[in-house]
Chain A
Amino acid sequence: MASAAPSLESLMGGYQEGDFAAAAALVNRLSPQLHRFFLAQLASREFADDLLQETWMRIHEARHTYRPGEPLTPWIYAIARHVRVDHYRKIKRRAVREQPLEDDHEISQPGARGPDTGPDLQTVLATLPESQREVITLLKVTGLSLEEVARATSSSVGAVKQKAHRAYDRLRKLWGGTDAGKGAES
């Protein structure tokens, strides 16, 4: 009979106690989600890999700041989004010093698009401003709650809702629809 998988929070507790198995399990459990987060932020596969490694280095450095009993994902994504922001700043600085940033350098190639599957993730999200893209990614791609997104992005639940609504309005306009709903909050 299979036992239930340990929660992320209990694995983090093990990581803080120096348990390698817990740390490795945490890396395996969270990395796919983090990798999707970076890919959805228009990073290429290669950059997403780099950002993932850098994020785990920072998580390792800051692991004592996670307090048992608190939700883990906002803590993880607060670090991950700043890794991405730092990386983005570096790219921009380099672009200013050297030459204009080529779009295809940073933005990954759109994935396969079948006749009935609609637009792919990166194409959809590329149409959104950065702050809205981040909120939509955290809510819909990584599956965080409004409260968790608010904590991860150091903002309020109201601000997250507003960004999500604006993003949905924009997507509806781009895709030619007119219906409104509450999907952004779900």
Chain B
Amino acid sequence: MRDNDIDDVLKRAAGASPDVDPALLERISQSIAPTLRPVRPMAPMRLLVAALVLICAGMALAAAATLGMHGIQKMNAVETSAIFPLLAVLLAISAAVSAGEMVPGSRRLLAPPMLLAVLCAAMAAVFALLFQDYRSERFVAQGIPCLITGLALAAPVSMVCWFVLRRGFAVDRAAAGIARGALAGLAGLAVLELHCPNFELAHVVVWHIAVPLLSGLAGGVLFGISRRGR
């Protein structure tokens, strides 16, 4: 059997499907009538993405300015010009994925779990190339405060992002949660890069990258669970 024959079978079979009961169509139309009122379409994607990027960057800068910009002051030009542009690109991609997940039928740049993996791998690769301090003094004692700082910023950023995207409709709530958590976690990571002067490779790879990773996973779990409440 050739592909054309398969096409014919599918077309014939689809054409032979039973008609929809007109009473059912009438019932559907009547069921939406009572709540049919004009609605304002969601903002264009570019606007949503720009708003998300500005919010994340603004909140990260404000938090780092409050805590002190010790990290960026200690960085050399190569480190600064590699880390922050990469963060900006990842922020833009994460914002686009987050906004896309809230509009059904959007073109998907990356699946949110893949976004999380790419984001962590890209940052780990850049850190591994730039930081050659392989010591790990007081690994946990120095790491926990960084993790808490990053996540403490990710939580409010996530709330503000939720507010921006509140009119969206996530068909896959867990995936939307992962995307939004990763975006908020990136803002937390940006704060750590601006603030934390500890450039030990193990510290930045484990504790700094844990922020977007945990934030993304938490977003997926929390937003996924919230489906049951609908």
Contacts and interface: CB of A to CB of B under 8 A. Distances in A.
Contacts of A156: 108
A140 B171 CA distance: 24
A27 B32 CA distance: 10
Contact of A75 (B7, B102, B105): B105
A121 B13 contact: yes
B8 to A, nearest CB: 8
B35 A60 contact: yes
Contacts of A16: 38-39, 41
B9 A118 contact: yes
Contacts of B14: 36, 40, 121, 140-141
A111 B9 CA distance: 13
Contacts of B137: none
Contacts of B168: 65
A64 B3 contact: no
Given A27-B25, A75-B104, A17 B38 contact: yes
Nearest to B18: A45
B108 A155 contact: yes
A78 interface: yes
Contact of A65 (B10, B27, B103, B108): B103
Interface string B5-38: 1111111111011111100110111011101111
A32 to B, nearest CB: 5
Interface in B24-81: 24-25, 27-29, 31-33, 35-42, 44-45
A103 interface: no
A63 B39 contact: yes
B28 A31 contact: yes
Contacts of A10: none
A15 B28 CA distance: 14
Contacts of B12: 117-118
Given A56-B32, A121-B10, A121-B14, A183 B4 contact: yes
A24 B40 CA distance: 19
Nearest to A35: B20
A64 B107 contact: no
Nearest to B39: A64
B169 interface: yes
Contact of B33 (A20, A77, A120): A20
Given A56-B32, A183-B2, A18 B38 contact: yes
Given A49-B20, A65-B102, A68-B41, 16 more contacts: A18-B39, A23-B29, A27-B28, A36-B17, A53-B24, A56-B31, A61-B169, A62-B169, A71-B105, A82-B172, A119-B9, A121-B16, A140-B10, A155-B108, A175-B6, A183-B7
List 4 tightest A-B contacts by C-beta distance, closest first. A183-B3, A121-B13, A177-B1, A74-B105
20 contacts: A16-B41, A18-B37, A23-B36, A28-B25, A56-B31, A56-B32, A62-B169, A64-B167, A65-B41, A66-B41, A67-B41, A78-B105, A79-B171, A82-B104, A82-B171, A151-B105, A183-B2, A183-B3, A183-B7, A186-B7
